[in-house]
A and B are shown apart, each in its own frame.
Chain A
Amino acid sequence: MSAERITRREMLKRLIVAPVGAAALATLPVREGSAAALQPYYEPYFVAVLWEGRTRCDSLWRSLKGDVVAILPTVQGTTPYDRLYWTGYALGSAPVNVNMRVLARAVDHNGVPLGNGWRAIGQAAIQTPPQRWFRVEIPEGHWDEYRLEVRSATPRLVYSRVIASQGYWKE
């Protein structure tokens, strides 16, 4: 294996000078296992990033987006997803003690919720030493909208990401 760093202009020159022929392509070594690592994992792949960002946690129940408006979803359009994964990291030197809860609801063909409020899927306390990662798996899938809420008696900054899996293989 060899590699070198070149400029885009140099790369274009080399491609023009030495185009890859179709006959050669047929015998090129490829490995399907690399596909997942090399392509972005949103469409057409079956894991999607639904949300990514920073949340200021305080004593109020806040969506990961920061709002305290209980009717607003944190993520929408989640019907295809079998389960969600929330991975995060809390800043600060004190031990982490953040309460979280997950709410969900379904919508009709126009995107209007079937009813008021939310279904509470789960609630937990995230308690870790300072500056550690945490991960929450939300196995109740195929709801259309989720609201992920956090609160903390001690104000904290939490960086997190929510991804969703469509579950290609049967479990």
Chain B
Amino acid sequence: MPVRFLRNASELADVSWETPLPVQVTNARPVPADTLLVATTTVTDANRDLLGSTATELPTLDGCMQYRKLVWFYFRSGAAATTYRVLARATDHNGAPLGAGWITLATGTLPGEANTWGRIEIPASGDGYYDQYRIEVWRTAGSNYDLTSKIVGVR
């Protein structure tokens, strides 16, 4: 006896290669994007990360190994010329960095004027998968201003 199933609400069809049973893919997963950080930083002439730290060995983000890339969204309230730097490194099983210092993934002038939005992909090309990131900003001219950032991790 053929096996039949309901197709198109009111149509019974025999199971065959042409009309297979409807199945749901269980091994395909959408790529979730996680919000990793939302912070407002006062940009000064000192080199600070987005959390306001001047301790150069402290990461801004930790536990990022699962993310292929990070997307840094920001809104800057001031137009002062600002330099940013994106650093990264890997850690061992205990979470300790494999060595001192960082790899510099990107550095440059933070785009945008006062009251404008920006978006920077980390890394700009290729894949990330680093364990820790440190994102630093400092102004090279003008006055202090607030920089509000959001970082989303994409798997």
Interface size class of A (residues with CB under 8 A): 35 or more
| Pairs of residues from A and B, 3 with the lowest C-beta to C-beta distance, nearest first | A115-B75, A119-B117, A46-B30
Q: 19 more A-B contacts (CB under 8 A) besides A109-B35, A142-B71?
A: A1-B18, A2-B14, A3-B13, A5-B10, A11-B10, A24-B3, A30-B21, A31-B20, A35-B22, A35-B23, A45-B25, A79-B152, A105-B117, A106-B150, A108-B38, A115-B76, A115-B77, A115-B148, A142-B154
Q: Is the CB of A18 closer than 8 A to any CB of chain B?
A: yes
List, in ascending order, chain A residues with CB within 8 A of B20's CB. Answer: 29-31, 34
Interface size class of B (residues with CB under 8 A): 35 or more
Q: Mark B1-32, 1 if CB is under 8 A from A, else 0.
A: 10110110011111111111111110011111
* B30 and A80 contacting across the interface, CB-CB below 8 Å: yes
B interface residues with partner A (beta carbon < 8 Å)? 1, 3-4, 6-7, 10-25, 28-33, 35, 38, 68, 71, 73-77, 115-119, 127, 148-150, 152, 154
How far, in whole Å, are A114 and B148 apart by their CA atoms in the complex? 6
Q: Is the CB of A71 closer than 8 A to any CB of chain B?
A: no
What's the least CB distance linking B149 to chain A, in Å? 8
Chain A interface SS verdict (over half)? loop
How far, in whole Å, are A36 and B30 apart by their CA atoms in the complex? 13
* A119 and B119 contacting across the interface, CB-CB below 8 Å: yes
* B68 and A8 contacting across the interface, CB-CB below 8 Å: no
Given A7-B10, A38-B22, A114-B148: A166 and B38 interface contact (C-beta under 8 Å) = no
List, in ascending order, chain A residues with CB within 8 A of B11's CB. Answer: 3-6
List, in ascending order, chain B residues with CB within 8 A of A167's CB. Answer: 31
How far, in whole Å, are A2 and B13 apart by their CA atoms in the complex? 6
Given A2-B13, A29-B20, A119-B117: A82 and B73 interface contact (C-beta under 8 Å) = no
What's the least CB distance linking A42 to chain B, in Å? 10
- Of B1, B74, B117, B149, chain A has the most CB atoms within 10 Å of the CB of B117
Q: Mark A131-171, 1 if CB is under 8 A from B, else 0.
A: 00000000011111000000000000000000000111010
